[in-house]
Structure 1
Amino acid sequence: MKRNVIISAAAAAALTVGGPTAAALAATGDTARTTTTATAARADVTAESASAAALKHHPGVVDSLDKDGAVWHVNVIAKNGKNTEVEVDSAGKATTRDTDDDNGKEYAPLIAAKVDAKKAMAAALAANKGAKVWSVDWDDDDDNGSTYWDIEVRASDGSTKHVHVDPTSGKATASTSDSGDDNDDDN
């Protein structure tokens, strides 16, 4: 009888000490699953989906897009020339950061372009299988007056390359003026 009481007391002590420890371990497991889910959600926000979220939030045409950590910064030009910076977070939520009433004439070639940012990204990716879009810029080259999309793509090995996409034909060509070994620290 005395032996059963000692075993019962030892079991109760083990549960008392082990219960909180087990709960802590279970909570740690839940945190790990939550972190993994959040990381997976962040990985799903591509340049293409950030662009779509920004345009849904603020209609117009994308002028530029770049990634800063887990946040995408997207400049959207409305048909009336208003320049709005939209941030798209790691969950795909878009918020307006800043709006400027710029001169709409400055953006006339961008607004009239047959190939928009979405089509330019698709052309750059088609020419660089397995790469991801890292940034997008509408460029009106002051040197020779030409306009084009400058799409920075990042390969799976981390190397980057700039691709110029013609805003009329959609033809993608590797840039010879930009270095292919940019060492951007943005993730």
Structure 2
Amino acid sequence: MHSKHKTYVASAAAVVLAFGGPVAAAAAHTADAARTASAAASARADVDAEGAAAAALKKYPGVVESLDKDDAVWHVDIIGKDGKHAEVTVDSRSGKVFTDNADDDSDGDSGGNKELLAAKVTAQQAMKAAVAAHPGQVWSVEWDDDDDNGSRYWNVEVKSGGKTTNVHVDATTGKATVSGSDSDGDDND
């Protein structure tokens, strides 16, 4: 009796697999194809500035203070909501995040950090505004609070056609102003 029970269970499993098999196999094939396509796409396209910011913020929630591309990595400085400062590196090919330094902002620049944390326009929004004003690839973004006239803005470098263009984005209004362009001789593309 015991062996008949095992045979019945095995037969029932075979019936389920027979009916569920093609559907399950098709679903698995589709998932594998999606993973393969995704891997191929990421192999072709490096992580862009927005992707680097998102990866860094996922690991260290807060506000991006600056971000810049250096060969195959992005350097991202983050100020956490708690005032802690983190310097991270994001691999531009894999998107993997490495911690360079994380501290409690012992350099005493908490005044500037308060302004940054309170800014209506984030680094990510500034990047979008800069590219809308001057199409290209964001190469760096940096918080700038001008002590001379009290203005606060994002300085965004956009590369296109072998030239680097600086775009200032107002931290309150989000208005982008193209401030200058120069040829790029370092060919880091």
Query: Does 2:123 match 1:117?
Result: yes
* Stretches of structure 1 lacking an aligned partner (at least 5 in a row): 1-36
The equivalent of 1:97 in structure 2 is 100
Aligned equivalents of 2:82, 2:184: Cα separation in 1: 35
| Runs of 4 or more above 6 Å deviation | none
> What's the CA shift for 1:81?
1.5
1:174 alignment partner AA: V
> Equivalences for 1:26-105 in 2 at 5 Å?
41=43, 43-89=45-91, 90-102=93-105, 103=108, 104-105=110-111
Aligned equivalents of 1:182, 1:138: Cα separation in 2: 22
Distance change in 2, residues 1:85/1:185 (3 Å):
farther
Q: Secondary structure at the match of 2:142?
A: strand
1:98 alignment partner AA: N
The equivalent of 1:152 in structure 2 is 157
Of 114, 118, 121, the residue aligned with 1:108 is 114
Query: Does 2:163 match 1:167?
Result: no
The count of aligned residue pairs is 147
Q: Give yes or no for contact 2:162–2:183 (8 Å, CA) kept in 1.
A: no
> What's the CA shift for 1:40?
5.5
The equivalent of 1:135 in structure 2 is 140
The RMSD of aligned alpha carbons is 2.0
Q: Secondary structure at the match of 1:44?
A: coil
1:92 alignment partner AA: G
TM-score computed with the length of structure 1 as normaliser: 0.72
Q: 1:12-45, CA deviations, whole angstroms, 9 ceiling, x for partnerless residues?
A: xxxxxxxxxxxxxxxxxxxxxxxxx889637330
TM-score computed with the length of structure 2 as normaliser: 0.71
Aligned equivalents of 2:145, 2:186: Cα separation in 1: 23
Q: Give yes or no for contact 2:153–2:171 (8 Å, CA) kept in 1.
A: yes
* Stretches of structure 2 lacking an aligned partner (at least 5 in a row): 1-38
Distance change in 2, residues 1:80/1:183 (3 Å):
farther
1:167 alignment partner AA: A
